[in-house]
Amino acid sequence: MSLLLPTNLQQCPSSSLTPSTRLLSPSPSTTFSFIGPRRRCLRFVTSSVSSVQTSAPNGSALSAGVVERDQIRVGLPSKGRMAADSLDLLKDCQLFVKQVNPRQYVAQIPQLPNTEVWFQRPKDIVRKLLSGDLDLGIVGLDTLSEYGQENEDLITVHEALNFGDCHLSIAIPNYGIFENINSLKELAQMPQWSEERPLRVATGFTYLGPKFMKENGIKHVTFSTADGALEAAPAMGIADAILDLVSSGTTLKENNLKEIEGGVVLESQAALVASRRALTERKGALNTVHEILERLEAHLKADGQFTVVANMRGNSAEEVAELVLNQPSLSGLQGPTISPVYCTTDGKVSVDYYAIVICVPKKALYSSVKQLRAIGGSGVLVSPLTYIFDEDTPRWGQLLRNLRL
């Protein structure tokens, strides 16, 4: 049996009551369970929310509307690498988060009037987007999927902010009965697992884990949480496998664990997420998102791109363009820009050189400079790009379609 506590219930150490709410409805032969600390009780807790919600059959949240307030609220991670990277990204987009006191949980962005920044734990950002206490926020896709649980009120505005890269993956020991097991299919077919002795998986992802196993038709699985590092659970004998976030994989290797083929649940990185209700009902929210999105897309498109400028001799701009375009790596993002360089010879203005401007990715920078020099380029100048503003912001149009606006 899989368990998911309702949002208005909180676990606390007390009597021996055991929760029994079902998360999924697996087939009768599929065993899922959530094992927590022995002593559990449930107590009702209240929270202040900004909207009234009821549950819909498809898991979406129905709302009577958003509570009126002047400020647009943006949730940012409060601690760790995600917090620092979020602030750095906004700063690179000329959106400076002004926090008077580092211990305060609220800040301002002067460039966005009527906008407040609230520093929260990532999972609380998702929860408060659903409750209406936040309008948009930056979280990892793994956190969005685990705590958002495909709720239709959560809409991903930008899914790739270029930091927080990791993936959620199953890992098993590389020794003992698992030594020759290298795929999810082989793991599922091991004869050791039965209804009486299921595969034990330690994880903090108690929604995504059972969902993934069910979708892959894997039977006889139990899920449990473990205090401390999950990587120690198999060695301690309290789990057969773990389901956890993996970045470089070094920690797994150092603990004699390995990933398996087909065991990746999802790829994750930081994303900009918003409340659908806020974008459609809260005054100013959609305009704020539009400005943030334009800045993000312009900066992220320019990230890792360089402007290369060089002078070349030629009889015409067309002749120089043909020479450049014959070199594949010199076409740049949209082909070269070529303009005449004027000089004075014997008192007369003439064109002896043409200036070439191209934009190339960092990985192709040196080879592009070499090719430019090989065809006669000189005085090569290189500078990093900060922004590339397109005529349209692609994700803005996609967002409007998603909102049916």
Give CATH for domain 47-165+269-302+394-402.
3.40.190.10
* Alpha carbons 244 and 169: distance in angstroms, whole number: 6
**pLDDT at 332 (0 to 100):** 65
**Lowest mean pLDDT, pick from 53-57, 172-176, 254-258:** 53-57
Residue 150's pLDDT band, with cuts at 50, 70 and 90, is very high
67 has pLDDT over 90: no
Every domain of the chain and the residues it spans: 9-42+166-268, 47-165+269-302+394-402, 305-384
- Amino acid occupying residue 297: E
- CB atoms near residue 49 (< 10 Å): 15
**pLDDT at 333 (0 to 100):** 62
340 has pLDDT over 80: yes
- Amino acid occupying residue 389: F
**Superfamily for domain range 9-42+166-268:** Periplasmic binding protein-like II (3.40.190.10)
The average confidence (pLDDT) of the chain is 84
CA 313, 314, 315, 316 torsion: positive or negative?
negative
Domain 9-42+166-268 shares a fold with domain 47-165+269-302+394-402: yes
**pLDDT at 66 (0 to 100):** 67
**pLDDT at 139 (0 to 100):** 98
**pLDDT at 134 (0 to 100):** 97
Q: Write down the pTM of the prediction.
A: 0.78
**pLDDT at 88 (0 to 100):** 97
54-63, 172-181, 361-370 — most confident range:
172-181
Residue 115's pLDDT band, with cuts at 50, 70 and 90, is very high
* Alpha carbons 198 and 221: distance in angstroms, whole number: 5
Q: Which two tokens stand for residue 286?
A: 């959609």
Residue 346's pLDDT band, with cuts at 50, 70 and 90, is confident
Give tens-digit pLDDT for 81-112. 999 999 999 999 999 999 888 788 999 999 99
Contacts of 102 (CB under 8 A, 6+ apart): none
46 has pLDDT over 50: no
Topology of domain 305-384, per CATH?
Alpha-Beta Plaits (3.30.70)
63 has pLDDT over 70: no
* Alpha carbons 5 and 340: distance in angstroms, whole number: 69
Residue 315's pLDDT band, with cuts at 50, 70 and 90, is confident
211-226: average pLDDT:
92
Q: Which helix (H) or strand (E) holds 338?
A: strand 337-345
Three-state secondary-structure class, residue 118? strand
228 has pLDDT over 80: no
221-235, 283-297, 361-375 — most confident range:
283-297
Give tens-digit pLDDT for 232-278. 999 999 999 999 999 999 999 999 999 999 999 999 999 999 999 99
Give tens-digit pLDDT for 8-44. 333 334 333 333 333 333 444 444 544 444 333 333 3
Residue 245's nearest CA partner among 185, 175, 165 is: 165
